[in-house]
């Protein structure tokens, strides 16, 4: 079933796995960077993880789609809190949010693999 088409407009499991891995690598690179990550960079990454507008539910892919949605939401929350940090002097510790986002993306990688 790996690489089998799931319907018009749907990604193959292989393509979903590749996307999840790429997003995971990019998220890890952003976290390791010495200069500050911007909310825009994280929002762009979240947009890559978001299910496409033409997404259709598929029972055989439901677990992958759920994992992908969880990853997207975690990256969105990280982007939001990073934006809040830029506008607030009391700076929220985003380290736990990075951990959650990375864990959720890795869960998506595992589910799609």
pLDDT tens-digit map of 54-67: 888 888 889 999 99
In this predicted structure, what is the pLDDT of residue 12? Answer: 66
Q: Give the pLDDT mean for 43-51.
A: 96
pTM attached to this predicted model = 0.84
Q: Give the pLDDT mean for 24-51.
A: 95
- Residue 4 reports pLDDT greater than 50: no
In this predicted structure, what is the pLDDT of residue 11? Answer: 57
What tokens were used for 36? 């500050």
Q: Which has the closest alpha carbon to 28: 85, 73, 78?
A: 78
**What mean pLDDT is reported for the chain?**
86
- Residues 51, 36: contact at Cβ < 8 Å? no
In this predicted structure, what is the pLDDT of residue 92? Answer: 74
Distances (CA, A) of 70 to 4, 52, 77, 99: 23, 15, 11, 13
């Amino acid at each position: 079933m790996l690489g089998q088409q799931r319907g018009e407009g749907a990604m193959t499991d292989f393509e979903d796995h590749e996307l999840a891995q790429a997003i995971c690598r990019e998220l890890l690179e952003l976290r390791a960077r010495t200069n500050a990550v911007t909310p825009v960079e994280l929002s762009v990454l979240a947009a890559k993880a978001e299910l496409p507008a033409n997404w259709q539910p598929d029972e055989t892919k439901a677990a992958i789609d759920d994992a992908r949605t969880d990853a997207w939401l975690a990256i969105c929350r990280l982007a939001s809190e990073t934006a809040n940090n830029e506008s607030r002097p009391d700076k929220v510790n985003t380290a736990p949010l990075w951990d959650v986002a990375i864990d959720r993306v890795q869960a998506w990688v595992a589910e799609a693999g």
